[in-house]
Amino acid sequence: MSIRVRFAPSPTGPLHIGGVRTALYNYLFAKKHGGVFILRIEDTDQNRFVDGAEAYITKTLDWLGISPDESPSKPGTAGPYRQSERKDGYLKYAKLLVKNSSAYLAFDTADELQSLREAAEQKGGRFIYNWENRNRLKNSLSLSADEVAELIENKAPYVIRFKSYEKGRDKSLSMIDKIRGDVVVDTSLLDDKIIVKQDGMPTYHLANVVDDHLMEISHVIRGEEWLPSMALHVLLYNAFGWKTPVFAHVPLILKPTGKGKLSKRDGDKFGFPVFPLEWDKETPGFKEAGYLPEALVNYLALLGWNPGGEEELFSLKELVALFSLEGITKAGGRFDPERCKWFNQQHLHKADSALVESSLAQLLQQKGIDNASVSTADVVGLVQDRLTLLTDLWDEAYFFFVAPVEYDEKAVRKQWKEETPQILSAVMNSIENAHDAQAETLSAGIKLWANENNIKLGMIMAPLRIALVGALKGPDVFAICSVLGKAECVKRIASAIDKN
Ligand code: GLU
């Protein structure tokens, strides 16, 4: 069987990371089996359409390195890939179902249905448009052929409804979900869903099933929120006489507390993004927050899928090699912002230093700093391992480019002793007279002097760091000296002696 899967978002806003993970699982499954990963935009509901949402989805998939093989911007042979561009085709399929008695035209007005609902509620019940009452309602099953023809002639609005169950049929529908196993639904409890609206447009259910069939989708991998629709979809496939794809409903991503679905509000509350890219100023993205795409991919992959074994850090390629639908868990995955950060830290440490260097170069440019004497490569060599998020970069690296103008008060109070200026003068001399600016040379020179003069290293290191950095932070102090260069060190030490 050739593997064809699709990610089928509705362009109603930015893509939540739950959707991102669904796309990722589809991608991993397709690549693992040499299949095709399709992006289909489900935009039949124009009321919910949001401008820019499709572009956002495409940009997200590209950023994560999981671009589709076929999509609106990269059409294959199964196009068009936007349902709005396929809309003329759906009615034909609905009519096929009317013809084979699986669906019918319903003329009930909104008001009529509303009064039925209210009447049922008054009696403590619930009105469901289904097998029990469809013959008493206003539709092509209860009306005569002439009455129906007349209504159509008079342009009476109607919808097309699908007969989910009919008396005499077997009520129980057994289905298999790749993740949940056997799923049995009592179809007599289902309502007769509208498959074509009054405006002639298909509803999600019809368009989704028709397109999955026409696009020859072999596996439907989607969020758990669609599990309740599986029975209707299977019934639709059966009614058409089409082969059903394999279904796999992926569990939800849960709030950090583990209770309920992760929402934007959780992100706002705990200060982490729930969207891959920035959507607007109130909707930050992982990218802007300093996450690497490979880290987000790795974390999301494991949030609801178990690769087996102890290893947790994987590249996209490794994930492809390991992925299986069987490894997807039934229980929802709790989003843990700290763990997500940890994955980022691990990937950032392994990342190509050129990436961090280009981020640093960009920062320097933005800030209008041109400090040609300090090598960005050397700086990155020292700070890359200290980063958790790419956005930590400036905090870890600024002092290589900007000499301290003020000094951390607390640090000075604690570390700046009476004899410090004298000691630092000697350190300054030692640096100035060193043969070269290698960290080892500088360190050896200073240690030798300290030893000869019976001065504890502790009296040197902290003040030297304060003089160079302005605070007690940063990588190895001699490494900092070396990257700054002898002249800059001398200048900074002299200035610190002067000011403190
Ligand atoms: N358009 C649906 C969504 O927005 C697609 C569900 C499915 O994959 O069948 O999630």
> What is the tens place of the pLDDT at every residue in 129-166?
999 999 999 999 999 999 999 999 999 999 999 999 99
Strand order in the sheet with 159-162: 103-106, 159-162, 194-196
Q: Which residue has the higher pLDDT, 47 or 211?
A: 211
Tell me which residue of 231, 177, 243 sits closest to 205, measured CA to CA: 231
Atom of ligand 1 nearest to the CA of 6: 8
Q: What is the pLDDT of residue 411?
A: 96
Three-class SS string for the chain?
Answer: CCCEEEECCCCCCCCCHHHHHHHHHHHHHHHHCCCEEEECECCCCHHHCCCCHHHHHHHHHHHHCCCCCEECCECCCCCCCEHHHCHHHHHHHHHHHHHCCCEEEECCCHHHHHHHHHHHHHCCCCCCCCCCCHHHCCECCCCCHHHHHHHHHCCCCCEEEECCCCCCCCCEEEEEECCCEEEEEEHHHCCCCEEECCCCCECHHHHHHHHHHHCCCCEEEEEHHHHHHHHHHHHHHHHHCCCCCEEEEECCEECCCCCCECCHHHHHHHCCCCECCCCECCECECCCCCCCHHHHHHHHHHCCECCCCCCCCCCHHHHHHHCCHHHECCCCEECCHHHHHHHHHHHHHHCCHHHHHHHHHHHHHHCCCCCCCCCHHHHHHHHHHHCCCHHHHHHHHHHHCCCCCCCCHHHHHHHCCCCHHHHHHHHHHHHHHCCCCCHHHHHHHHHHHHHHCCCCCHHHHHHHHHHHHCCCCCCCHHHHHHHHCHHHHHHHHHHHHHHC
In this prediction, residues 335-357 reach a mean pLDDT of 97
Tell me which residue of 177, 244, 213, 218 sits closest to 3, measured CA to CA: 218
Question: Does residue 252 carry a pLDDT above 90?
Answer: yes
- Output the residue whose Cα is nearest ligand 1's atom 10: 9
C-alpha triplet 474, 480, 485: angle, nearest 5°: 155
pLDDT grade for 262, boundaries at 50, 70 and 90: very high
264 is annotated as an active-site residue: yes
Q: What is the pLDDT of residue 371?
A: 81
Question: Does residue 238 carry a pLDDT above 80?
Answer: yes
**Do the beta carbons of residue 305 and residue 323 sit within 8 Å?**
yes
Task: Work out the end-to-end distance of the chain between its first and last CA atoms, rounded to an integer number of angstroms.
Answer: 76
Lowest mean pLDDT: which of 145-149, 358-362, 369-373?
369-373
> Parallel, antiparallel, or unpaired for β 172-177 and 181-186?
antiparallel
- Which one from 59, 264, 447, 491 is the annotated catalytic residue? 264
Question: Does residue 471 carry a pLDDT above 90?
Answer: yes
Q: What is the pLDDT of residue 434?
A: 95
Distance 9 CA to ligand 1 centre (A): 5
| Ligand 1 pocket, CB under 6 A | 8-10, 42, 208, 222, 226
Distance 225 CA to ligand 1 centre (A): 9
Q: Give me the DSSP letters along 152-178.
A: HHTT---EEEE----TTS--EEEEEET
Question: Does residue 1 carry a pLDDT above 80?
Answer: no
Q: What is the pLDDT of residue 282?
A: 87
Count other Cβ atoms within 10 Å, centred on residue 476.
Answer: 13
pLDDT grade for 450, boundaries at 50, 70 and 90: very high
Distance 10 CA to ligand 1 centre (A): 7
**Residues β-bridged to residue 500:** none
In this prediction, residues 260-281 reach a mean pLDDT of 92
Question: Does residue 372 carry a pLDDT above 90?
Answer: no
Question: Does residue 357 carry a pLDDT above 90?
Answer: yes
**Do the beta carbons of residue 431 and residue 486 sit within 8 Å?**
yes
Distance 22 CA to ligand 1 centre (A): 10
Distance 84 CA to ligand 1 centre (A): 15
- Output the residue whose Cα is nearest ligand 1's atom 2: 9
Mean pLDDT of the chain: 96
pLDDT grade for 5, boundaries at 50, 70 and 90: very high
Q: What is the pLDDT of residue 82?
A: 97
C-alpha triplet 56, 59, 61: angle, nearest 5°: 110
Exposure class string for 162-177: b at 16+ Cβ within 10 A, else e? bbbbeeeeeeebebeb
Question: Does residue 343 carry a pLDDT above 80?
Answer: yes
Question: Does residue 47 carry a pLDDT above 90?
Answer: no
What's the pLDDT tens digit per position in 389-399? 999 999 999 99
User: Which of 44, 56, 177, 208 should be mutated for ligand 1, with most atoms under 8 A from CB?
Assistant: 208
pTM for the whole structure: 0.94
% the chain with pLDDT above 70: 100
- Output the residue whose Cα is nearest ligand 1's atom 5: 8
In this prediction, residues 32-42 reach a mean pLDDT of 98
